[in-house]
C-alpha cells in the first residue's frame, strides 16, 4: 500500500453549527435550460513547448444537476467555448484518440474527475487550460499452445495495486481483439503499471477439445498396418484454452506488470495460451418432497481457480460460457455444465415448489437482475448450495434437494413526512446483496453483488418482504423513493429530500455493514427508516494566505474503524469547486474525521491502513440528525 502524500488542515475553526431549522429542507427546483454564463479555454499539450490540440472533444457536465452533458470540438487553435450556461457547478473532460483523457484540475492523467468549476449568473470564465499527453501503447502477439497465432482473442488490461503484499485488481482499463496474425495493439494509455490478461475466443456450441493420446496414435498405426482388430482406446480428457496473464502464466499472482510512460510504446509483449483439463458437472435437482421444482435457475460461481484470481468471476471462467458458468437446467430437473476449469466453485440452485402458484406482481417486482448468478424471481423460495472442488475429473450424478428459504419481512417508515402528501413506499428500493466476499474496492462490491442479489418487494401499506433467503453473509441496501443505488456506498438524497436513516434488526443498525443470516433465524421485524433530517457539511478550502483553493480532495470518514468497509455510507470524499467551496450531504449522524489531501486514489478510500494514517492530523466533528455545519479548512503546509 502506498503512503499517502497528505496536506493536513490547520483548522480555522469557523465551526458554525447552524441549526437545521435555519436551513429548512426544500424540494429541488428545476434550473432553467438556458442561462447567461459562459466557460471558454484552450486544450494544449503538456510538454516543454506546449502546442494547441485541434479536434478534441471537450465535454461539460453539470455536477448533481439535471442538465444533459454537452460537448464541443476544439478548432485549429485548440479553442473551445460553452455559452448560455445556467448557474451551477461543472466539470470539463477532454478526450481524443491516442491521447489520455484529461479532466480539468486532475492531479493525474486518466484518473479522477478533476476540479469542478462554479459559475454565477452572467459570469464569464475564460482562459481555462486543459493539458493532454500522448497515451502509451502496449502491443504484441498472442499465440496458442502450439505457437500458432491466436486470432479473435480478447486482450484486456487491468490496473493493479499492492495491498498488504497482495496484488489486487483495481479496475479493468481497456482492451483489444487480436487480428488474424494474433497481433493486438492497445493505445491511449495513462502512465502506470498494467497486467495483461488474454481471454480465449468462446467455444460455446462447438465440440469439446480432446488431445490425441499415445495409445490412440499407436492404435491408428496398427490399424493402418492391418495388424489389429481391437476397438479404439478411450479418448483423452477434454481440455480448454485457459485465460493467460503476461508473460504466459495462468496465475495472476505470478504475472509481470508492464510499465508504460507518457507516450511510450511497449512493443513485443508476446505471450501464449495454455491448455488445461476441464470437467463436466451434472446431476438432478428436486424439491424436499422429491418433485421437480418450478422456475429453476442455477449458477456456478468461482470461489478460487488455479489462476487464483477473482477477476475470473467478472470476465467468465474459460470455456464455460461466461457469467454463471453456463449451467443448463432441464424441465425434468437435470442440470449440467461442461468445460469447467480446475478450481473451487459454488453451485447455487433456486426454484419454487412444484405446486407453487404465480404471485401477483411477481412478474415485475420480483424480477432478478439479468446476470446469471443473481437470485431467481421472488417466488423462487427454495434454495441449495453445493461447494465443489474440480481437478479435471467429471462430477456427475449429483442429487441435490432444495430447502425452503427464509423470509425477511418488515416495515418502511418516513420520519418528518407531510400527512397531506405521504410518500409512496412502494417506490422505495430494497436489495439484499451477498457479502461473502471481502470488499475493499468498488470492483469487490460488484463481485459480491454478482454472487447473489435478491430484490425486495415493498407495498403501499409500507410493508416489505424478501423471499427465498439462503443462509449467508449479506448487506441490505435501502434507497428512498426516486433513488437507484444498488451498491449503497453513498447516502443519496432523493429529489423529495429523503435519505436513509437506519435499518434496524434485532436492535442493531445494519445499514452500513455486513451481517450473518443462519438457518432458522427469525428475519421479521426489520425496520427501514427514511428521514428528511438531512445532514450537511459545507465550507471552503483555503490556502495558507486565506485564499480559496481547489484541486485537493477532502475526505470525511467515521471515527469507528468498523465503518471503513467498501459500501459504507460513512466514508466519502469530495472535490472543492474552483472557488474552494465544498458540500457533503446525507451522512448518517455520528462522529467523523475530516481532512484534505494532496492526492487520493479512490481505491485507497476503503483501505483501513490508509485511513489510519489520516487520523492523527484530521479534525474531529460530530453530526446529529439533520444538523448542518460549516467548516472552512485552511491548509497549514506539508
**Same domain assignment for residues 228 and 245:** yes
Residue numbers of the chain with a pLDDT score lower than 70: 1-33, 64-67, 111-113, 160-173, 202-208, 303-326, 356-380, 436-453, 484-491, 544, 551, 598, 603, 636-638
Q: What is the CATH number of the domain that holds 184?
A: 2.60.40.1120
Interatomic CA distance for residues 31 and 77, integer angstroms: 33
pLDDT for 307: 37
**Same domain assignment for residues 516 and 432:** yes
**Same domain assignment for residues 152 and 209:** yes
pLDDT for 313: 45
As a three-state string, the secondary structure of 504-526 is: EECCEECCCCCEEECCCCCCCCE
pLDDT for 450: 54
Domain boundary among 468, 503, 531: 531
pLDDT for 591: 96
**Same domain assignment for residues 394 and 284:** yes
**Same domain assignment for residues 146 and 265:** yes
**C-alpha dist (Å) from residue 135 to 260, 422, 529:** 9, 53, 48
Domain containing residue 236 = 136-275
**Distant-in-sequence, close-in-space partners of 468: CB < 8 Å, separation ≥ 6:** 350, 375, 376, 378, 380, 381, 382, 383, 405, 406, 407, 454
Domain boundary among 354, 377, 403: 403
pLDDT for 375: 39
**Same domain assignment for residues 374 and 478:** no
pLDDT for 168: 57
pLDDT for 252: 72
Does residue 54 sit in helix, strand or coil?
coil
Residue 426 belongs to a domain: yes
pLDDT for 360: 42
Assigned C-alpha cell, 309 = 484470481
pLDDT for 243: 79
pLDDT for 268: 96
pTM of the predicted protein model? 0.65
**Same domain assignment for residues 239 and 353:** no
Residue 149 belongs to a domain: yes
pLDDT for 184: 96
Q: Do 302 and 310 form a contact (C-beta atoms < 8 A)?
A: yes
Amino acid at each position: 500500500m502506498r503512503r499517502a502524500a497528505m496536506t493536513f488542515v490547520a483548522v480555522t475553526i469557523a465551526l458554525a453549527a447552524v441549526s437545521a431549522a435555519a436551513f429548512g429542507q426544500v424540494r429541488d427546483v428545476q434550473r432553467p435550460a438556458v442561462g447567461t454564463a459562459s466557460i471558454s479555454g484552450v486544450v494544449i499539450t503538456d510538454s516543454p513547448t506546449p502546442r494547441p490540440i485541434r479536434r478534441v472533444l471537450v465535454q461539460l457536465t453539470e455536477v448533481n444537476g439535471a442538465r444533459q452533458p454537452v460537448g464541443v470540438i476544439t478548432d485549429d487553435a485548440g479553442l473551445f467555448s460553452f455559452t448560455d450556461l445556467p448557474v451551477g457547478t461543472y466539470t470539463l473532460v477532454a478526450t481524443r484518440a491516442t491521447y489520455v483523457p484529461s479532466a480539468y484540475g486532475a492531479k493525474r492523467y486518466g484518473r479522477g474527475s478533476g476540479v469542478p468549476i462554479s459559475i454565477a449568473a452572467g459570469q464569464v470564465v475564460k482562459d481555462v487550460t486543459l493539458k493532454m499527453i500522448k497515451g502509451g501503447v502496449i502491443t504484441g502477439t498472442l499465440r496458442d499452445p502450439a505457437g500458432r497465432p491466436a486470432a479473435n482473442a480478447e486482450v484486456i488490461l487491468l490496473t493493479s495495486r499492492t495491498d498488504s503484499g497482495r496484488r489486487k485488481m483495481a479496475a479493468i482499463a481497456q482492451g483489444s481483439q487480436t487480428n488474424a496474425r494474433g497481433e493486438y495493439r492497445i493505445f491511449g494509455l495513462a502512465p502506470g503499471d498494467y497486467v495483461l490478461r488474454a481471454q480465449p475466443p468462446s467455444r460455446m456450441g462447438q465440440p469439446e477439445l480432446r488431445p490425441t493420446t499415445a495409445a490412440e496414435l499407436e492404435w491408428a498405426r496398427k490399424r493402418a498396418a492391418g495388424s489389429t482388430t481391437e476397438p479404439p482406446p478411450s479418448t483423452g480428457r477434454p481440455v480448454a484454452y485457459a485465460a493467460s496473464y503476461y508473460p504466459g502464466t495462468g496465475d495472476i499472482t505470478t504475472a509481470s506488470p508492464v510499465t508504460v510512460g507518457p507516450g511510450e510504446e511497449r512493443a513485443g509483449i508476446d505471450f501464449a495460451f495454455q491448455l488445461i483439463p476441464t470437467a463436466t458437472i451434472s446431476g438432478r435437482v428436486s424439491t424436499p418432497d422429491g418433485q421437480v421444482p418450478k422456475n429453476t435457475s442455477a449458477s456456478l460461481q468461482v470461489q478460487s481457480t488455479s489462476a487464483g484470481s477473482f477477476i475470473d468471476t467478472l470476465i467468465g471462467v474459460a470455456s464455460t460460457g461466461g457469467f454463471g458458468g453456463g449451467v443448463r437446467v432441464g424441465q425434468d430437473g437435470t442440470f449440467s455444465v461442461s468445460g469447467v476449469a480446475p478450481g473451487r466453485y459454488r453451485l447455487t440452485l433456486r426454484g419454487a415448489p412444484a405446486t407453487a402458484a404465480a404471485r401477483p406482481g411477481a412478474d415485475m417486482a420480483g424480477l432478478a437482475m439479468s446476470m446469471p448468478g443473481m437470485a431467481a424471481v421472488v417466488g423462487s423460495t427454495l434454495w441449495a448450495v453445493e461447494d465443489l472442488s474440480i481437478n479435471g475429473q467429471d462430477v456427475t450424478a449429483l442429487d441435490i434437494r432444495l430447502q425452503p428459504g427464509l423470509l425477511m419481512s418488515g416495515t418502511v417508515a418516513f420520519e418528518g413526512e407531510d400527512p397531506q402528501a405521504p410518500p409512496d413506499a412502494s417506490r422505495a428500493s430494497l436489495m439484499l446483496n451477498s457479502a461473502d466476499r471481502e470488499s475493499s474496492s468498488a470492483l469487490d462490491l460488484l463481485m459480491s453483488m454478482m454472487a447473489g442479489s435478491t430484490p425486495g418487494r415493498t407495498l403501499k401499506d409500507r410493508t416489505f418482504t424478501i423471499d427465498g433467503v439462503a443462509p449467508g453473509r449479506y448487506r441490505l441496501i435501502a434507497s428512498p423513493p426516486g433513488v437507484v443505488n444498488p451498491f449503497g456506498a453513498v447516502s443519496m438524497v432523493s429529489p423529495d429530500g429523503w435519505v436513509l436513516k437506519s435499518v434496524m434488526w434485532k436492535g442493531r443498525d445494519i445499514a452500513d455493514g455486513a451481517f450473518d443470516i443462519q438457518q432458522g433465524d427469525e428475519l421479521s421485524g426489520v425496520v427501514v427508516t427514511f428521514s428528511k433530517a438531512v445532514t450537511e457539511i459545507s465550507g471552503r478550502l483555503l490556502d495558507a494566505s486565506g485564499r480559496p483553493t481547489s484541486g485537493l480532495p477532502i475526505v470525511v470518514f467515521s471515527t469507528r474503524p468498523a465503518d471503513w468497509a467498501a459500501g459504507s455510507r460513512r466514508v466519502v470524499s469530495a472535490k472543492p469547486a474552483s472557488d474552494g467551496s465544498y458540500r457533503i450531504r446525507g451522512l448518517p449522524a455520528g462522529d467523523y474525521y475530516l481532512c484534505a489531501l494532496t492526492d487520493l486514489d479512490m481505491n485507497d478510500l476503503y483501505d483501513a491502513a490508509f485511513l489510519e494514517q489520516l487520523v492523527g492530523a484530521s479534525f474531529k466533528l460530530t453530526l446529529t440528525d439533520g444538523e448542518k455545519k460549516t467548516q472552512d479548512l485552511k491548509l497549514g503546509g506539508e
